[in-house]
Amino acid sequence: KAHKYWFTFKKNYNSKMLIFYEKILINNFNQKNLTNKFNESFISNDKHIFIIGLPRSGSTLVEALLLQNTDKIYSYGETSIFDFSIFNQIKKEFFNKKIDIEKLELEIDENIIVDSVKNVYQYTKDKIIIDKSLENFFYIDIILKLFPEAKFIHTFRNTMDAQIAIYQAMLIHLPWAHSMNNISKYILNYEKVMNYFKKKYPEKILDIELEKLTADPKYYSNKIYDFCNFNWSENVLEFFKNKNLATKTSSFLQIRDNIKKSKKNKYSSYYSLIKKLK
């Protein structure tokens, strides 16, 4: 009932965002018209790090591990810069009943995106930044146009467990997270997009499975640091002692403690609730 009430409370906005994710982005994420207008003068060689994937799949843990490298890195958390700047450019199309959403091509103004990115990232010019906006897997092409040296860490887990965990967490700001059916649709689209980009940019994307990371944090944190060209030390695993560590996600309690093993099929008792994925 809480999910239903929250979706209804912002029904107009949530309904528009569902169309944005389920139809517009999935029909346009691999189209050249998204990136062919970007001017070379906008390119930055900063080696920024983007953590992508589904919620409740270990992204906050990876962020905490990386932030132990405090001398050269800063996290902006979940900015959703690309989501907001692109959605705001096309949202007027949703109110035009003559437009066929299924055939709508995503035409964007690259200057608006560039200005948004510069405005948000302007305070850390001498550092590598982390952006943990998980939905950025839709925008990998655009991000690499702006930051050719960027790297993506893709955190994931058993998708059945991910779906139950997302529903359980009551993520109020995600319009697609308030029904099992919409979560299923989003996950299936996410898998389609990730498979596409992992084939296109295999050297740019590192897969980190939550269950493996928590079972052997030393090995996988080493792997993450090597991928980012950072120097690893035992101190990386003591992130929970860092008093300056902050997060606004629902994982704020987990990162205050040592790493605990995450089990596969953790939510198997609830798999009967899932229809599309099953």
For residues 185 and 153, what is the distance between their CA atoms, to the nearest angstrom? 23
pLDDT value, residue 2 = 94
> 127 near 14, Cβ under 8 Å?
no
pLDDT value, residue 122 = 80
Angle at 172 between CA 187 and CA 142, to 5 degrees: 50
Tokens for 72, please give them. 């050269």
How many angstroms from the chain centroid is the CA of residue 196? 16
What's the whole-model pTM score?
0.89
* Phi, psi torsion values for 217, nearest 5 degrees: -65, -30
How many angstroms from the chain centroid is the CA of residue 225? 19
For residues 229 and 171, what is the distance between their CA atoms, to the nearest angstrom? 33
Name the 3-class secondary structure at 75: strand
pLDDT value, residue 89 = 84
pLDDT value, residue 4 = 94
Instruction: Return the beta strands (E) in 202-273 as ranges.
Output: 205-209
pLDDT value, residue 126 = 79
Divide the 278 residues of the chain into consecutive groups of 10 and give the mean pLDDT of each group: 94 89 86 72 82 95 88 88 88 66 74 88 83 96 92 96 94 94 94 96 97 93 95 83 55 54 83 73
Q: Kindly give, in sequence order, each residue whose CB lies less than 8 Å from that of residue 71, ignoring residues fewer than 6 positions away.
A: none
Tokens for 1, please give them. 């009932």
